Amino acid sequence: MKGSYPIKVFNRRVQYKFTINRNLTILRGDSATGKTTLIDMIAAHQSSGESSGVTVRCARPCVVLTAMNWQLNLAQIQDSIVFIDEGDPFVATHEFAAAARASSNYYVIATRTSLFSLPYSITEVYGIKNNAGNRYQGTKRLYSSFYPLYAPATDLPTRPDTVIVEDSNAGFTFFSAVCKRYGMECISANGKARVYQAILDCSPEKEILVIADGAAFGPEMERVLSLSHVRPLSIYLPESFEWLILQSGAIHSQKVPAILVDPAQYVESSQYFSWERFFTDLLVTESRQMPYLHYQKSALDPGYLQNSVMDAILQRVNADTHSFET
């Protein structure tokens, strides 16, 4: 399943209108913000159809998955948008992550805590905003929509003391070379789950810039952001290092520009559990015709460290961070 899906769920009292863009969408927020109401309405429609008083409009089936026999029930669901309420703890298990990865569905999960077993994007973590009806039209319906809790940071401070890179392979090799050029320290966190500790291990007076793959960094955002309140810390979260290369234009390809405009139309959820994997495969495929830039995640081709290529990638980075400007 791929693509973006506008969804409208409503009855006489409340209307939800939102768009699902990826296979994993997270709804955060305190109680009484409307998460459970939304899922209850979809469950009522799933059980009783239009006679429930609820209307669901979407190009794909919208279904609710509950804890009872969830594995058996999920095995029967295909090419659907699956909603799961925060009271169902199975969503935090590795078993659910494996089952979701093997499926062709999209998932919308209400939760109050981070789900570390799922690689969801920072751009697909939402709260619910409620607006009263138009009093001049006499309606009492509550209109609800999603709003992003995290947005990619822009205009970050220049010249940090230390750069912490999530990656330990190609991305780290590239940013190590960049930091050497500008006289900065560069550290690999050896994985997104270790970024938080890597920040804690740095001297508290140092200005830190974290660079990580935004396409899968959603579970780490809350605790990493909390450190920005107690120490100098900036966070740069492009989709992935491979996405940066593709955006830079260093790889000459006729198909890449169209894909980058709207990746959702190309990322097949049953094949790619996160967009980071998709951009990696795309870069590997499209760089094969350029021997000096043939990409491998495990070992960066030296061609990427040539000044012309490095500068092209940094131009895209500096559009957001200004951290590597001369």
- 61: helix, strand or coil: coil
pLDDT surpassing 90 at residue 260: yes
pLDDT at 30 (0 to 100): 72
Distance CA 213, CA 218 (A): 9
The pLDDT tens digits of the residues spanning 118-170 come to: 999 999 999 998 886 654 444 455 788 888 888 766 556 568 899 999 999 99
pLDDT at 86 (0 to 100): 83
Q: Edge-to-edge, what's the strand order for the sheet holding 125-131?
A: 55-57, 5-10, 14-20, 142-148, 125-131, 24-27, 106-110, 81-84, 62-64
The pLDDT tens digits of the residues spanning 278-321 come to: 999 999 999 998 888 999 888 999 999 999 999 999 998 888 77
Distance CA 142, CA 123 (A): 25
Domain residue spans in the chain? 5-148, 162-318
Helix H, strand E, coil C: the string for 206-258 is: CCEEEECCCCCCHHHHHHHHHHHHCCCEEEECCCCHHHHHHHHCCCCCCCHHH
5-148 is classed CATH 2.60.40: no
Lowest-confidence region among 100-109, 135-144, 176-185: 135-144
pLDDT surpassing 80 at residue 253: yes
